[in-house]
Structure 1
């Protein structure tokens, strides 16, 4: 299923760090990131100059927070397209009520669909964090089963992230192993545009062969990851705070799309 490219397009992105763009570093932009949603909006604007875009997503947000903080402002903009990604941070929680999570997710999708906007959903990916966290795969698979059901029931667009084999390559992920890298975000933008049926100029990344790593290199990398990323994350969870608590939405109101070539010096390109 694809959507007709209406004029003017009003695209509002709602969600968590996946949609905010964390991992795709760009110091020229709000919250120092770009992300797949910006990249999608940029491509849409190149072919539809009157397109408008807002991104309300914030890192660390769970489903309930996203619904309470973002959904009403998003719908008040009378969008023609709403992307909705939520639940990933809930899946990482120590305690999870899957029934409540699915019910809340479906209620949110119903509200967006009732507004008349096209709805764009995503399945979750089994992020290769660590063998210790492999049980998360079952949670993710169950949640994805419900997302596919909800998508079919409400006639939404669906980007089935779970099925994208390219994300098995560690270069598609940022050093924190939880968020996509710049390359990963660009590829996600390509897949989104394909689902939308939109004209675009994005190409799939060409990744050379990975250099094999010794056991010592893997252990050193794992130790650095635990110290740099996991320990602060656990500390925030223990204190009941989020990495997004001090941040605001990157693009809080519909506006013409900011094209990267108008921002001056480009960031250093990602190395493959």
Structure 2
């Protein structure tokens, strides 16, 4: 018989990663499923009257998450909270990973106030990613800070950097900024393992990728830059966010 986990009220907070962008599912609230929904589905199958809320909104910066979502999460009296925050700050030019982590530290202290289990996410290794690969060192510094924050507040780290499967391009959505359904499934498995919760989520069985010519790779890069990178840069210049006007997909239990 499978041992039951100890949680009954789960709240997920964060940005597009936690909202589930890249994992479209018309039947899910907001039209996206994502790793958090997948984790909640497993947790709910093992505990009666399990409750799940997801307050994450795409495009949110760390301070917006701290200001808009932390108190709203605590008001739901959860015993399990996941938070992924700071990634949108880190990818912006000129941000200081030490300063971002220091602000997150205060947020984790607040989330731990009532004794809930808190799961934090560090950043994946983006060394092989076009454009974003240039800030690999910045992400690594942020990650080291997050391990210190987690130790200080007795939080759990869902270690994305160690999840080497994420280097496979099939783990990423066409925009190369969000994860694909396969990526979200892989991350859900990792989170459940970090929580020591048994599950039967299928692992990704990697098959060899077909060889791609240098010319075709460059054509794909140009298409990606035109379709995804340029609009992202334009929103930054206009001080717009993909989350403008978007509400949480699961604001209550």
Which TM-score band applies after superposition, normalised by the shorter structure? over 0.9
Pair 133,6 (structure 1): closer, same or farther in 2 beyond 3 Å: closer
- Secondary structure of 2:252's counterpart equals strand
**Poorly superposed stretches of 4+, deviation over 4 Å:** none
- Give distance in 2, aligned partners of 1:24 and 1:65: 23
Is the CA contact 1:31–1:247 (under 8 Å) kept in the aligned structure 2? Answer: no
Is 1:217 the counterpart of 2:213 in the alignment?
no
Which residue does 2:194 correspond to in 1?
Answer: 195
Hey, what's the Cα distance between the residues in 2 that align with 1:44 and 1:134? 34
Pairwise mapping of residues 62-73 of structure 1 onto structure 2 (< 5 A)?
Answer: 62-73=61-72
Is the 2:16–2:58 Cα contact (8 Å) retained in structure 1?
yes
Q: What root-mean-square deviation, in Å, do the aligned CA atoms of Structure 1 and Structure 2 show?
A: 1.3
Relative to structure 1, the CA distance from residue 45 to residue 133 in structure 2 (aligned partners, 3 Å threshold; closer, same or farther) is closer
What secondary structure sits across from 1:161 in the alignment? coil
Query: Could you say which residue in structure 2 is the equivalent of 1:262?
Result: none
Aligned-pair CA distance for 1:48 = 1.3
Moved more, 93-102 or 135-144: 93-102
Identify the residue that residue 85 of structure 1 maps to in structure 2: 84
Is 1:121 aligned with 2:120? yes
Paired with 1:221 and 1:228, the residues of 2 have a C-alpha distance of 10
**Unmatched segments (≥5 aa) in structure 1:** 255-272
| Corresponding residue pairs, total | 249
For 1:99 and 1:158, locate their aligned partners in 2 and report how far apart those are by CA, in whole Å: 17
1:119-268 to 2 correspondences below 5 Å: 119-127=118-126, 128-130=128-130, 132-254=131-253
2:98 touches 2:141 (CA, 8 Å); kept in 1? no
Q: Distance in 2 between matches of 1:107 and 1:24?
A: 31
2:91·2:132 contact (CA, 8 Å) conserved in 1?
no
2:69 match: secondary structure: helix
Say whether the 8 Å CA contact 1:129–1:178 is kept in structure 2.
Answer: no
1:6 aligns with 2:6: yes
Mapped pair 1:59 → 2:75 = no
SS at 2:118's partner residue? strand
Q: Is the CA contact (8 Å cut-off) linking 2:125 and 2:160 kept in structure 1?
A: no
Q: Which residue of 2 aligns with 1:105?
A: 104
The CA distance in 1 between the partners of 2:135 and 2:208, in whole Å, is: 28
Query: What secondary structure sits across from 2:26 in the alignment?
Result: coil
**Alignment gaps of 5+ in structure 2:** none
Structure of greater relative contact order (alpha carbons < 8 Å, 6+ residues apart) = 1
Structure 1 residue 154: Cα displacement: 1.2
> Shift in Å at residue 133 of structure 1?
3.8
Q: Does 1:34 align with 2:33?
A: yes
Question: What TM-score comes out, normalization by structure 2 length?
Answer: 0.95
